[in-house]
């Protein structure tokens, strides 16, 4: 149920190179930023924030990339699923987040398509 509520509260479609999800009263939020780009790809960062009033012990971020765009490498995260639907999950050392705490993860995309849906789970 928490996953469904997080999805409903944070589901949005991006405009330009930055997606931002305003926190609900209690939710885990994710912010996507394209940090650099070139003609055949880009580097992206997602910041996952625990907006709950209690610690969390794990997080996931899921999104879809358009046809022709794929994740070629990632850091500070595990890529659990692949093209075109990606689920990025915490590593063993960055899954626990205290209230208000954030973690930044990154990845390189081959192709220029931005995520069409991004939500924390």
Rounded alpha-carbon distances, angstroms, from residue 109 to 42, 54, 70: 5, 33, 5
3-state secondary structure of 43: strand
The Cα–Cα gap between 110 and 91 comes to: 23
**Torsion sign over Cα 78, 66, 113, 32:** negative
Does 120 map to a domain? no
Does 24 map to a domain? yes
Could you tell me if 29 and 20 are in contact, meaning their C-beta atoms sit under 8 angstroms apart?
Answer: no
Looking at beta carbons, which pairs linking 2-7 to residues 24 or more positions away fall under 8 Å? 3/121, 6/119, 6/120, 6/121, 7/119, 7/121
Structurally, how many domains does the chain consist of?
1
Instruction: Decide which of 51 and 11 is more confident.
Output: 51
Q: Mean pLDDT over residues 75-92, rounded?
A: 93
Does 121 map to a domain? no
Rounded alpha-carbon distances, angstroms, from residue 48 to 5, 16, 59, 118: 16, 20, 8, 11
pLDDT digits (tens, 9 = 90+) for 27-62: 789 999 999 999 999 999 999 999 999 999 999 999
Q: Mean pLDDT over residues 16-35, rounded?
A: 63
Domain containing residue 40: 2-113
Tell me the CATH number at 87: 2.60.40.290
What is the band of 81 on the pLDDT scale with cuts at 50, 70, 90? confident
pTM above 0.85, yes or no: no
């Amino acid at each position: 149920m928490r996953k469904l509520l997080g999805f409903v509260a944070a589901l949005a479609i991006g405009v330009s190179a930055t997606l931002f999800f305003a926190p609900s009263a209690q939710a885990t939020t994710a912010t996507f930023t394209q940090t650099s780009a070139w003609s055949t790809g880009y580097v992206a960062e997602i910041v996952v924030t625990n907006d709950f009033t209690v610690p969390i012990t794990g997080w996931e971020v899921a999104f879809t990339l358009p046809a022709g765009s794929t994740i070629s490498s990632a850091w500070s995260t595990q890529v659990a699923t692949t093209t075109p639907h990606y689920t990025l999950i915490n590593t063993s050392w960055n899954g626990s987040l205290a209230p208000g705490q954030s973690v930044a993860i990154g990845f390189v995309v081959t192709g220029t398509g931005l995520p069409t849906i991004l939500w924390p789970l």
